[in-house]
Amino acid sequence: MQLDMHFYGTYALARAAGIPQEDAYTIAYAAQYVDDSTKQDSKQHEDGGLLYGIATSHDGGQCVLNYHKDVHGSREEQRRVWVPFHFLPGAEGKDFEEQLLCKKNSKPAQEMMQNHLRLAAEKPYGLELLGIAAHVYMDTFSHFGFSGVSSSLNKIIDGSIKPLELKDPKMADYVLSKLGRFIKRYKLGSVISFFAEESTGSLGHGAVATFPDRPYLKWCFEYEYPHESTTSSIPIEAEQIEVRDNKVHFFEGCELLYHYFRGFAGARYPEPDVIPFEDIADDIKEIITTEDDCHGRIDKWRALSWKNTPVISQKIRYNKSDWENQKFDFDDSEESKHNISSNVYRFHQAAAYHRYYVLKDLLPAHGIAAY
């Protein structure tokens, strides 16, 4: 999913569920920052204190830098980053590779939500943790059927990916041009092993580019190796065509996330100011089905209102530098301990905890030794 859903959608759902503005902002910011915390950099204070920052996502350059640090090449990094933060394994299937496939609203995803909601109530980094949970949970509604490691199960048949039923012919051109650019970009890097994996489409949903992340898109594709137990492919004349209607899945994710937030708000705030989901369901459906680029979809979220009051107040905007720049305050402050209450310090507390929890606790409990 992209900025429209991870920040603005998350914020709107949190507000509607009765979470006050400031806390909803922290949750939504953390949800989007999972995609923007791409630097594996730490800051040291002259008193000896350290802010240990981890990458919760990667851009291309960072993949190359990290490649040499891994004993097993980029594969360890895939397991540290893509598996816990973007492709939570569904833990179903007959072998390890199938179990790693992400599954929509999977059992591990539900367990993670329950665990993090419980912790969010008692930890100082609870809101940041809840934001990370919202990111990971919502990703299961777009990334299902793919895994966060290099796997033949992520490959699709060349040329099989197609957008379906787009009303605006310009959007079809736009989506296809993005697909073309995406594939070209990754082919360029194919001298590096990591990129070779991405260019052949064996890592994550690299093979289907950003198709799963566009809420309005209905599209189809065909896996190179059909999945037996984790997706619902439709056999058409001996072919196994996967048809995905993103808006159905995105809407389902929104409704479920809203209810998790409702549970949190009910337990944490004395009299939460709640908007019933039914009252905004049609508007959310309309936002999700809007055929537009990310900016256009963000404008739609920003225009969402209930009883003539905007759900997202005008001053609310996402700027990825806000928390990133807080890292510089760490070494500038009088004592390192003063920064323990900063959002960026708390985000990295939450991210480190989440990674440990998924890789060393949740997945092993489901019989998966991924890391």
Which residues of this chain interact with Zn ion, rule CB under 5 A? 86, 139
Between 86 and 302, name the residue whose CB sits nearer to Zn ion: 86
Between 86 and 247, name the residue whose CB sits nearer to Zn ion: 86
- Write out the E strands in the chain: 43-44, 50-51, 162-164, 218-222, 234-236, 239-245, 305-306, 309-310
311: nearest Cα among 293, 347, 287: 287
Question: 30, 125 in Cβ contact below 8 A?
Answer: no
Between 126 and 212, name the residue whose CB sits nearer to Zn ion: 212
Q: Give the Cα separation of 314 and 283 in Å (integer).
A: 18
- Tell the smallest beta-carbon distance from residue 151 to Zn ion (Å): 18
- Tell the smallest beta-carbon distance from residue 82 to Zn ion (Å): 9
Question: 120, 31 in Cβ contact below 8 A?
Answer: no
- Tell the smallest beta-carbon distance from residue 35 to Zn ion (Å): 6
For Zn ion, which residue has the nearest CB?
86
- Dihedral of the CA atoms 326, 331, 334, 338 (nearest 10)? 50
- Tell the smallest beta-carbon distance from residue 143 to Zn ion (Å): 7
Question: 123, 129 in Cβ contact below 8 A?
Answer: yes
Distance of CA 240 to the CA centre of its chain: 27
Beta bridge partner(s), residue 259: none
CA R_g for the chain:
20
Cβ neighbours of 279 (radius 10 Å): 12
Between 37 and 326, name the residue whose CB sits nearer to Zn ion: 37
- SS3 call for 331: helix
Q: Give the Cα separation of 217 and 220 in Å (integer).
A: 10
- Tell the smallest beta-carbon distance from residue 272 to Zn ion (Å): 28
- Tell the smallest beta-carbon distance from residue 129 to Zn ion (Å): 16
Q: Give the Cα separation of 159 and 300 in Å (integer).
A: 32
Tokens of 31: 């949800």
Between 280 and 362, name the residue whose CB sits nearer to Zn ion: 362
Strand duo 239-245 + 218-222: pairing = antiparallel
> Tell me, what DSSP letter sits at residue 228?
S
Tokens of 183: 């594939």
- Tell the smallest beta-carbon distance from residue 200 to Zn ion (Å): 21
Between 56 and 339, name the residue whose CB sits nearer to Zn ion: 56
- Tell the smallest beta-carbon distance from residue 174 to Zn ion (Å): 22
- SS3 call for 164: strand
Between 86 and 227, name the residue whose CB sits nearer to Zn ion: 86
Between 128 and 139, name the residue whose CB sits nearer to Zn ion: 139
- Tell the smallest beta-carbon distance from residue 95 to Zn ion (Å): 25
Q: What is the DSSP string of 41-60?
A: --EE-TTS-EE----SS--H
- Tell the smallest beta-carbon distance from residue 91 to Zn ion (Å): 19
Between 205 and 262, name the residue whose CB sits nearer to Zn ion: 205
Between 3 and 156, name the residue whose CB sits nearer to Zn ion: 3
Would you tell me the crossing angle of helices 126-139 and 74-85 to the nearest 10 degrees? 100
Question: 141, 176 in Cβ contact below 8 A?
Answer: no
